Amino acid sequence: MKGKQFLTLCYMIPLVFGGIMLSNGYLFTYGKRGFVTRFLIGHFPNLPADWFGGFGAVLFLMTFACTAHYMIFFRNAFKSIDFQTVEAARGLGASDFKILTKVVLPALKPILLTCIILLFQTGLMAMAAPLMVGGRRFETIGPLILTFTQRPASRMLAAVLSLFLGVFQLGLLFVIQRNERRGNYLSISKVKTTIEPTRIKQPLLNLGAHVVAYLFALINLLPLVVVVLFSFTDFKTISTRELHLNSFSLENYQRVLTDRSAYHPFLTSVVYAGLAAIAAVALMTIAARIIFKYRNRLTTVLEFLLYLPWILPGLMFALGLVLAYSRPRWIVFGHPLTGTLVIMLVAYIVVMLPNTFRFLKAAYFSVDTNLEDAAKNLGAKPIYSFVKIVLPIILPTILAMLALNFNGKLGDYDLSVFLYNPIAKPVGVVIRSNSNPEYGVDGIAINFVYSVILMVINALVLFFVYADGKTKIKQLFKKENKKSGE
């Protein structure tokens, strides 16, 4: 593909520009008074202003917004395919299409099934997209549960709907696990070779592939560019959706960074996400250590319990917290948690536990037990050997999980909207509120600044976690030092 690096960057956009931010960007770009809508109506006067709404709009948004798992897990799995199998099939006379369908895709079946599970869960819990672009004539189960939860008299109906979500997800997990047991997807090659790009030889197919690839890239890129550009414009430009050189300024950023009412939601999200990330990683570092070192029935049960939040839909879990702790309970020293500042922090921590535990447990497998045995023989206590030997080895994974957990909850809306306290609104909830028409241009401008700041933070996290940013920065400084020495 021509421009492969540019396309890859465009496809990575949902990793840094997703959730409530992306829904807000699509609404401003394609909504009734959206940037693209005004352009299209200028050329097609008969086009209705609300053309981007309902089921089609939600399906379109979520199709492109929910590709993060594919860009991380599916892409890595694709790169790990043994190219020798492709060469062997080609040597037997198989066409490129047959190699793709009979050799490559079957090897990717496990990761495809995993992505299906994760995306099905995302669809079940969808809140931002149906609320913001679905319109009044379109409703999904998530917003309906939220409506019932906000009314104490109808919370039991919300509980029943949440139970349906759990049953659907457990049913899907059962079907996929059953399919995985039927096949063997392991490579039998002893020495793997890296997969190589294949050129599409047919001119028409080659042209069609490039058109589709760049169309998808444009769809991802356009809302991001619109949000970034209009975040630097004044209220008049945002209202008219007409860009001019003299309309750019830093007024919006100055307001968010200096006005307490504007930056307070952002600080609230930073505090909640930071505390939750630290607590989850600390707890799972200890739990993974215990489960890894002491394997018995008790640790097996503990591991199963830690995976429960990964199985249950987030909406079901949030509603369970509201119902369970709306009255005083002995486990929380006789105090109700619903409506307090603590309950959202508890929810953040619990939903972080499964993934954090899974990665930290895998990190412990990379620790050579002989090193601990040697330290024990030299008289070192268990805590000392853990701090001096084990902790430095798993520290990169700990830092990575801290960053990813913080990143994942910084702009959260789906869970926060059920549990937040009115005096401490997180930024995701504020972005949703500001998108309502009654907040006018002022709310839209603040949303743009919030989105850009969150994108910068997400991009920095990805740079340091996935792109080995620390090493690249060191290499850059070394090059600069060499140049200055010369």
Cα gap 252→240, rounded to integer Å: 17
In a domain, 397, yes or no: yes
In a domain, 429, yes or no: yes
Count of domains observed in the chain: 1
Structural domain of 443: 248-486
Sorted by sequence, the CB contacts under 8 Å of residue 133 that are 6+ apart come out as 23, 26, 27, 30, 31, 52, 53, 57, 58, 61
Report the interhelical angle of 314-324 vs 155-182 (nearest 10°).
140
In a domain, 24, yes or no: no
| pLDDT for the residue numbered 177 | 56
How buried is residue 292: exposed, middle or buried, by Cβ count under 10 Å (0-12/13-18/19+)? Answer: middle
Sorted by sequence, the CB contacts under 8 Å of residue 35 that are 6+ apart come out as 28, 29, 226, 230, 241
In a domain, 418, yes or no: yes
Report the interhelical angle of 314-324 vs 141-149 (nearest 10°).
10
| pLDDT for the residue numbered 376 | 78
* Encoded tokens for 20: 């409530």
Total-model pTM: 0.76
Q: Which residue, 447, 464, 414, 4, is CA-closest to 228?
A: 447
In a domain, 369, yes or no: yes
| pLDDT for the residue numbered 189 | 47
Q: What is the CATH number of the domain that holds 390?
A: 1.10.3720.10
* Encoded tokens for 41: 């109506």
Q: Which residue, 65, 74, 73, 33, is CA-closest to 52?
A: 33
Residue 178 identity: R
| pLDDT for the residue numbered 220 | 92
In a domain, 262, yes or no: yes
In a domain, 12, yes or no: no
In a domain, 423, yes or no: yes
Q: For each of the chain's 486 residues, which pLDDT tens digit applies? A: 889 899 999 998 988 888 788 888 888 888 887 878 888 888 888 888 888 888 888 999 988 888 877 887 778 778 778 788 888 888 888 888 888 888 888 878 777 877 777 787 778 778 888 888 887 778 888 788 878 877 777 878 877 887 777 777 777 766 665 665 555 444 444 446 777 788 888 899 999 999 999 999 999 999 999 999 989 988 888 887 777 888 888 888 888 888 888 888 888 998 999 999 999 999 999 998 888 888 788 888 888 888 778 766 677 777 788 778 877 777 766 777 777 888 899 899 998 888 788 778 877 876 777 777 787 788 778 788 888 888 888 887 788 788 878 888 888 887 888 888 888 889 888 888 887 766 667 788 888 888 898 888 888 877 876 666 666 666 766 666 666 665
Residue 153 identity: A
